[in-house]
Structure 1
């Protein structure tokens, strides 16, 4: 019935309905928040246990959407009983959207969204399986409207740290068009073998992430699919005898392989990493030298677009010369090393010719490593953030060698005036990250002395340092600057009458405040940035009644405002709600 009614709607009306009807979902459940995430095209059903969140209309046409929820929200909605008319209205409302994905997490936190792999992996390893929770099934409103269904078009399923019921597995089985499946440390029914179930039902998978599970050697052959291009077995560990290992007859043709903090064996590693089609490989935190039969480690692929071997433990394996030889890598991560193991990697001439981006964040830098840094001929991006204090002086004496760098990250250093002057030699630098570097007010005159004339800097992060009006005035002279991240005292503009004239960035598109108190004078500084498209506040506080609707209309190009862990007054939130009429999207991130 609903499909026939949808067909009668012309395309223009359908787009309009999809945009304006989402807020009405929340009227059906008193204890459930319904939030639409414009960026991710997701409808979130979550229990009201957190401060109230708000939905904001947007100008974006909504086509396909994902449903995102938690077991607690599911249990509440499952027990909610509607009368016949309300049920019909709810089903009609949902039927106008093309649902192409489902995401269910124990606490609305997802491994796949965590940028810090070390943190995410450590969290998973310490988190117990959800054996005491009620098994989850989506056989009720609002989910039964599309599971099962003849024209079912679910392409994405993500389930994390939940207890999955047998009935749920039967429903998912009907998703024949599934392209991406992410399972993270879930509990399955007794005697259920996940790898067999997945292999039999989803042979068209392109992306498979199976994170935090035991891998049974006898079933390993079921983890390789014909069309699979990305495989993630992070935080997984092997069970069973090597004698029982069965490799699939078909060789993998993976483009992306992620095995962070996994505990596999030599033969599986060889099978996967010998794949010549592999472009992206992450072995972060893998301990290789503890494996049995390490003599069998050989023949690995050596040409990558992206390679992350941060925190890996090689010991004698690199010296033997059968791993990572003659590497040809565009982006290389060697972070968090507390030994000199990277020496063998960074000494390779093939890397000196191929690498464009290198990260040595939080690693110990030996004199040898610093010497090899000078050998990279085409390096454009260098990350030396968070170095141990006793290595900073060594690094300072060696990094100012490559005038071709386009991006440099020196976060958490202690930078002197002399260092700032030395940085100005990078005449082609487009991005500079120097947050938390103990910079004093007035430091920008040493940094920007040469750059003001070259005008190439496009992005700079000077957050959590001390800045004054003279620093901002100099930064405003960088006419190519489009992305500015900074922290500033709220009193900086007191008694300043020329904010609009003297503190305007001509081409600034993205402005980010970090740990600031935003008062009316600071808001005037925001309004002076006439080209602004994205405004963001991180761990900040907005003063009472700072925002006004009329003021925001002055920013004619503003598209998005983001608030990350930021405190707002109720009156300012009401102003933000009104921005729907001028097409500004407002996002809140609390996790």
Structure 2
């Protein structure tokens, strides 16, 4: 099995000089392997992989680069027979110009199970979106990102057995009075981030009986009404993302009635009181294992609401607009269950970190870019934390030799991410006998100037498996 991942520049080069030779090479490849997946993006960055920050944000579409491929991407598959095309199960196309020939090629992929089209130019073939049921009878995963959709698209979706649907950054432009949609019977996962769709569409999708993953990040619900039939639906999710959402009272009530979510994202919430109302549900306290509240303000009310969760295993409180005063540290009902906490990109000091002492099973701690001053490692040296921590990220903070020697005695540390000051290293008396970690397997150095002495010292770490250098600068004498 073979996965083809490429970009327009490569495909254009293939079609330039000595094209006959290139044809022979491609023919050899296609005859030697079964291609099951095709991925083409303008810059090898994919929205689905979270590697395209421009698309993930609410940036203007004018910022997007859309590239044209000579003769279309399908031109390199010129000699593929039908049997070879039947092996292709997945196609992802992002920010390229699609031609009529490209559409003809796609229509031949009758066993296609996954189709994702992100901000591609479909000017010559918009009808393609309305003909999906007849073109792909086996399609299970569909992503249409960044398009204006009409009634016939949603009516045709009813004819398909889609399990996973992504309509992020889409809007609606048609007569809603002529729209006839039914409740989707098969939908398991729905993502409509930053979308602006019709009320009937939301009802048909959200009320699906099998829906367990729902992402509605940055959707404005202030003008949308909820059909009362939806209130009777069992609102139990594996994953629920309501970050940045704006609610009217009616739609807010929908999410205030016996809501359960194993993983819950409520980041950058625009209405603090709405946020508190959602969090104060007993059903969430008993069901949520992962909670992300990044980008909010950690006032007393929010602190108290969070403390009531009973089975929480992972908590993310990064990039908070405001962190509560140092002398307020409530007891958390989940203090024995919590395995991981992310406090990155906050302004913290030693006093504001004291609440960490109550967690006796904390395995992962992220304190990166928290403006921490020297000596903060003292906070981690309670009996519980020094025994339980397995992963620690303290990159982007001040760091002195005394902090380093404390880290070494985190008994079960396996993964360490740190920004290292060369001057600190140079002042150490024994530069080759400082890495006394008993179990460390992964070391990640971030924004560190790598000099020869530091590099050689790092390479002496006993039993280390992985060493990564992120945004580091290597001096000329390293490896010389």
Please indicate, yes or no, whether the TM-score normalized by the shorter chain is above 0.5.
yes
| 8 Å CA contact 1:226, 1:252 repeated in 2 | no
Matches for 1:91-130 after TM superposition, within 5 Å: 91-93=27-29, 95-114=31-50, 120-123=56-59, 125-127=61-63, 130=66
| 8 Å CA contact 2:34, 2:84 repeated in 1 | no
Q: Distance in 1 between matches of 2:474 and 2:64?
A: 38
Aligned to 1:66: 3
Aligned to 1:3: none
Aligned to 1:169: 103
Aligned to 1:443: 376
- Deviation (angstroms), 1:91: 3.4
| 8 Å CA contact 2:103, 2:125 repeated in 1 | no
Aligned to 1:522: 454
Among candidates 277, 288, 298, match of residue 355 of structure 1? 288
Aligned to 2:402: 470
Aligned to 2:268: 336
Matches for 1:343-422 after TM superposition, within 5 Å: 343-389=276-322, 391-393=323-325, 397-398=329-330, 402-404=334-336, 405-422=338-355
SS at the partner of 2:398?
coil
Aligned to 1:203: 137
- Deviation (angstroms), 1:88: 3.6
RMSD between aligned residues: 2.8
Matches for 1:173-572 after TM superposition, within 5 Å: 173-190=107-124, 192-224=126-158, 226-247=160-181, 251-291=184-224, 293-294=225-226, 298-299=230-231, 300-317=233-250, 321-340=253-272, 341-389=274-322, 391-393=323-325, 397-398=329-330, 402-404=334-336, 405-451=338-384, 455-494=387-426, 496=428, 498-547=430-479
Cα distance change, pair 195–290 in 1 and its aligned pair in 2 (3 A):
same
- Deviation (angstroms), 1:93: 5.0
- Deviation (angstroms), 1:541: 1.3
- Deviation (angstroms), 1:228: 2.2
- Deviation (angstroms), 1:87: 4.9
User: Which whole-Å deviations, capped at 9, do the CAs of 1:500-534 have from their partners, x for residues lacking one?
Assistant: 43323222222211111111222234223333333
- When normalised by structure 1's length, the TM-score is 0.74
Q: Distance in 1 between matches of 2:349 and 2:297?
A: 21
SS at the partner of 1:169?
helix
SS at the partner of 1:354?
coil
User: Which whole-Å deviations, capped at 9, do the CAs of 1:424-472 have from their partners, x for residues lacking one?
Assistant: 332111111111122222321232243465x111111101011122222
Q: How many pairs does the alignment contain?
A: 477
Cα distance change, pair 416–83 in 1 and its aligned pair in 2 (3 A):
closer
| 8 Å CA contact 1:195, 1:223 repeated in 2 | no
| 8 Å CA contact 1:136, 1:163 repeated in 2 | no
- Deviation (angstroms), 1:493: 2.4
- Deviation (angstroms), 1:422: 3.9
Q: Distance in 1 between matches of 2:285 and 2:191?
A: 25
| 8 Å CA contact 1:400, 1:423 repeated in 2 | no
- Deviation (angstroms), 1:113: 1.8
| 8 Å CA contact 2:94, 2:117 repeated in 1 | yes
- Deviation (angstroms), 1:121: 3.9
User: Which whole-Å deviations, capped at 9, do the CAs of 1:348-394 have from their partners, x for residues lacking one?
Assistant: 111111111111101134433322222111112111111113x4327
- Deviation (angstroms), 1:333: 0.6
SS at the partner of 1:298?
helix
| 8 Å CA contact 1:331, 1:357 repeated in 2 | yes
| 8 Å CA contact 1:179, 1:206 repeated in 2 | yes
SS at the partner of 2:409?
coil
Aligned to 1:78: 15
| 8 Å CA contact 1:261, 1:284 repeated in 2 | yes
Q: Distance in 2 between matches of 1:442 and 1:358?
A: 29
- Deviation (angstroms), 1:496: 4.0
Cα distance change, pair 462–167 in 1 and its aligned pair in 2 (3 A):
same
- When normalised by structure 2's length, the TM-score is 0.90
Q: Distance in 2 between matches of 1:457 and 1:67?
A: 40
Q: Which moved more, 1:322-331 or 1:428-437?
A: 322-331
- Deviation (angstroms), 1:81: 2.4
User: Which whole-Å deviations, capped at 9, do the CAs of 1:328-352 have from their partners, x for residues lacking one?
Assistant: 1111110001322112211111111
Q: Distance in 1 between matches of 2:389 and 2:7?
A: 44
Alignment of 1:138 with 2:73, yes or no, is yes
